[in-house]
Structure 1
Amino acid sequence: MALEQLKSDVAEFAAFLEQAKGARVKGVLTTAKAEAEREIVNLEMKARIAAERKAAGSSDAKRYLHELTDYGWDQSAKFVKLFITLNGVQGCSEEDVTVNYTTTSLQLHVRNLQGKDFGLSVNNLLHEIDVEKSYRKIKTDMVAIYLKKAKEGENWDVLTAIQKRLKQKQDTEMSKDSDNPESALVNIMKKMYNDGDSKTKQMIAKAWTESQDKAKFGKETGGGLDSLGDL
């Protein structure tokens, strides 16, 4: 999709958001707007990288850009910290691992790592960051990015505004089921599965499998954990 069309879409989504009243409509529009903004940032990053490659020479221009999506994150009173695993990144020069910051986003670019380029974009950060005091470190098989909180001591329960919106939507849906304990339990189990670590997921999957087995032998007839589906 053309960059100008995406920018037009973002402006239109913003205009609709100002008129929207229902929580569900606002949620859909917010998600769509955030996705369009993410595409804009990615297109701009690719255009900038293409220009840098062209200026650097033909060998750089031939490398394909691999978009990264997986990372871990943590926080302290002063910083939000992102950890991106990249095997062998410690072999890159300082100039080949760059991060561009805005007050609400970051774009990581790793050049010529084993003949490949890598990029990561995180947009719509939950709160603003101090661009001048944010930085990155190259570690063994990892890039660590330190985002300086604009407001020290402010807790980030999620990393981005869109994740916050989705979390609020989940919580709203769960509260609607408060008059139906069985349905509420299923939603809680789903949320625990989606948010849990591998051990938690194994425990929940085991409980679900056992409930399915019991149902097959007539010990249970629907409801309960067997309505979890495939999670």
Structure 2
Amino acid sequence: MSLEQLKSDVAELAAFLQQAKGARVKGVLTTAKAEAEREIVNLEMKAKIAAERQAAGPNDAKRYLHELTDYGWDQSAKFVKLFITLNGVQACTEENVTVTYTPNSLQLHVRDLQGKDFGLTVNNLLHSINVEKSYRKIKTDMVAIYLKKVKEDENWDVLTAIQKRLKQKQDSELTKDGENPESALVNIMKKMYNDGDSKTKQMIAKAWTESQDKAKFGKEAGGGLDSFGDL
């Protein structure tokens, strides 16, 4: 989809949002708008990188852009901090590691790291940041990005608004099973499995298998970890 069409979609979704009344409708429209905005940022970043490569010369144009998705984050009273692992990044020049900030997003671009380019985009931050006071540091095998909070001491329980909505939805689903502790436990385990890394999934799968092995004939169906089904 073209950049112009995406911008048109965002404007139309914003207009619908102003008219929407129901919470569910607003949630769907907000998610769709955020996704379109993410695509816009990605297209603009790729266009910017392509322009930089063209200006730099043919050697830069041959490098493939690797889009990063993994990072860790933490916070202090004044900053939200992102940590992106990139082996050997300390060998890059300052000019080759850039971060572009907006009040609600960031774009990291690492050029010519062992012959490759890397990019990370995070849109729809949970709260606004101070663009002028945000910065980054190059460390050994890591880029650390410091996002200055507009409201100091404001706690970010998640990094982005989309993650917040997903967390609220998951919490709501768990609350529905509040009167049935066993069902709530199964839902929590399912969430851990779906959100976990490969090691976590292996541990949960092992626990489920062991519970199956210990099951006796005549045991009531649907109890304990048996309710996992096809995670």
Common fold by TM > 0.5: yes
Please state whether the residue corresponding to 2:178 is helix, strand or coil: coil
- Of stretches 49-58 and 66-75 in structure 1, the one that deviates more from structure 2 is 49-58
Distance 1:185-1:19 versus aligned 2 partners, 3 A rule: farther
1:1-231 aligned within 5 A: 1-194=1-194, 203-215=203-215, 219=219, 221-231=221-231
Distance 2:18 2:147 in 1: 30
Distance 2:144 2:229 in 1: 37
The alpha carbon displacement at 1:215 in A equals 4.0
Gaps of 5+ in 2: none
Distance 1:15 1:176 in 2: 33
TM-score (norm 2): 0.91
The alpha carbon displacement at 1:216 in A equals 7.3
User: Is the 1:214–1:220 Cα contact (8 Å) retained in structure 2?
Assistant: no
Distance 2:206 2:25 in 1: 37
User: Is the 1:211–1:220 Cα contact (8 Å) retained in structure 2?
Assistant: no
Give a deviation string over 1:154-204, Cα, whole Å, max 9, x none: 100000001001111111111222233332222122234455677765553
User: Is the 1:215–1:221 Cα contact (8 Å) retained in structure 2?
Assistant: no
The alpha carbon displacement at 1:52 in A equals 1.1
| Partner AA of 1:181 in structure 2 | P
Identity %: 89
Gaps of 5+ in 1: none
How many residues are treated as equivalent by the alignment? 231
Please state whether the residue corresponding to 1:125 is helix, strand or coil: coil
Root-mean-square deviation (Å)? 2.1
Please state whether the residue corresponding to 2:81 is helix, strand or coil: strand
Distance 1:10 1:229 in 2: 39
| Partner AA of 1:73 in structure 2 | W
User: Is the 1:174–1:187 Cα contact (8 Å) retained in structure 2?
Assistant: yes
Give a deviation string over 1:109-153, Cα, whole Å, max 9, x none: 000111111110001100111111111111111111111111111
Distance 1:94-1:191 versus aligned 2 partners, 3 A rule: same
User: Is the 1:10–1:36 Cα contact (8 Å) retained in structure 2?
Assistant: yes
Distance 1:56-1:197 versus aligned 2 partners, 3 A rule: closer
